[in-house]
Homo-oligomer: A and B are copies of this chain.
Amino acid sequence: MSTERASARTSDSVLGRFHGVIPAGGTGTRLWPLSRAAAPKFLHDLTGSGSTLIRATYDRLLPLTQGRIMVVTGVVHRRAVLAQLPEIEDTDLVLESEPKDSAAAIGLAAAILHRRDPGIIMGSFAADQVIAPAELFQDAVREAIHTAAEGYIVTIGIEPTHPSTGFGYIRAGDPLTVAGAPTARAVIEFVEKPSQAVADGYIDSGNYSWNAGMFVAPVELMLRHLAANEPELHAGLLEIAASWDTPQRVQVARRIWPTLPKIAIDYAVAEPAAAAGDVAMIPGGFSWDDVGDFAAIGRLNPAEENSELKVMGEGARVFSENASGIVVSDTKRVIALIGIDDVVIVDTPDALLVTTKEHAQEVKKAVERLRASGDTDVL
């Protein structure tokens, strides 16, 4: 047997250990009133592609997983997620009775998968990101799987298009030598959202990528770091996982889940693992957007020809005269715009938002005020 054929078979068997995980949480407050508690961001088609964000995320992982994909979401979204992903197995749909932040969600997936097969390499990708082209994403994930197989928690770094102050960054170290992962690098540290001056410096140095929260890792290694940093959380997750494929699943989860600490996977695993030298990075050559606000929706949707107004929504009836900006129509109402620039209008049956692209980030504030005033029926 030649070395080449052995290597090919090794590669196949490494990739065959991969299992996708899609945490589908968060209400996308800055996309209110389109995105809201009952219909969060990931359940919408925000790019005019014809697919919801969660469906597109699932489809992007399919060629890597042959359907081995677990979704972790709120129990209130069960029906909507099944409508989007009818092929998902019951045992691959993990329902949270209440939100417990990303360490619990991703940690539970790791614990359940670890009981099924301790050799699994998981890859966690949020349900509400926009990525293109899918092939470049899949190439990066394949490199990440090969790197993970060498004992790393591997993140995929997004090449920054501008010195954003809205994202965390990944500081890359030296290149690694990993078969099947020619672009792999060590990670020195994760850093939080920087000031503008600091972000400018990051871009100039060439060693920083955006942190999109993508993690590919052996489940055993994820759990080991979780045990070291959050032993209580780790113990609770193992107990739930032990009952997962038994009739006690619901009863055990109902007892333990509410007691678990809320913490982000960044603090519970990624940052301490980086400090321990256990994190690697694959640079992602694809374009990426977290669709953080309505300005992003404007960027991601093509305008009609000869129009500076982008209109989203099936059956939208928009009439404009000297208007530019974005209209998201979730009703059948006629919308007339006259002489208004860079406007953002989101029209839903029970709530209307009117703002500007410039103020798109402040939508969160409006939602907070609505909550404070008790008008939670539209949140």
* Interface set of A (CB-CB < 8 Å, partner B): 32-33, 317, 319, 321-322, 332-340, 343, 345, 347, 349-356, 358-359, 362-363, 365-366, 369-370, 373, 375, 378
Q: Which of B336, B349, B353, B378 is A366 in contact with, Cβ under 8 Å?
A: B336
Contacts of A365 in B (CB 8 A): 321, 338
Q: Secondary structure of the A side of the interface?
A: strand
CB pair B351–A354 under 8 Å, yes or no, is no
Contacts of A362 in B (CB 8 A): 321, 338-339
Q: List 22 A-B contacts (CB under 8 A).
A: A32-B336, A317-B375, A319-B369, A321-B365, A321-B366, A333-B351, A334-B351, A335-B352, A335-B353, A336-B351, A336-B352, A336-B354, A337-B354, A337-B355, A338-B353, A338-B356, A338-B365, A339-B358, A339-B359, A340-B354, A347-B352, A352-B352
CB pair B359–A336 under 8 Å, yes or no, is no
Q: Which of B33, B317, B335 is A354 in contact with, Cβ under 8 Å?
A: B335
CB pair A345–B338 under 8 Å, yes or no, is no
In the complex, A257→B340 CA distance in Å? Answer: 43
In the complex, A329→B313 CA distance in Å? Answer: 23
Min CB gap A18→B, angstroms: 43
In the complex, A322→B362 CA distance in Å? Answer: 11
Min CB gap A6→B, angstroms: 61
Known contacts A340-B343, A356-B340, A362-B339; A369 and B321 CB within 8 A of each other: yes
In the complex, A335→B349 CA distance in Å? Answer: 11
The residue in chain B whose Cβ has the minimal distance to the Cβ of A329 is: B352
In the complex, A70→B306 CA distance in Å? Answer: 52
Beyond contacts A334-B352, A340-B354: 15 other A-B pairs, Cβ-Cβ < 8 A, are: A319-B366, A319-B369, A319-B375, A321-B369, A332-B350, A334-B351, A334-B375, A335-B352, A336-B363, A338-B353, A338-B359, A338-B363, A339-B356, A340-B359, A345-B352
In the complex, A378→B333 CA distance in Å? Answer: 9
Residue among A335, A336, A350, A363 with the highest chain B CB neighbour number at 10 A = A336
Contacts of A345 in B (CB 8 A): 352, 354
Min CB gap A246→B, angstroms: 45
Contacts of A32 in B (CB 8 A): 336
The residue in chain B whose Cβ has the minimal distance to the Cβ of A364 is: B338
In the complex, A333→B345 CA distance in Å? Answer: 14
Q: Which of B340, B350, B370, B373 is A333 in contact with, Cβ under 8 Å?
A: B350
CB pair A333–B359 under 8 Å, yes or no, is no
Contacts of A353 in B (CB 8 A): 335-336, 338
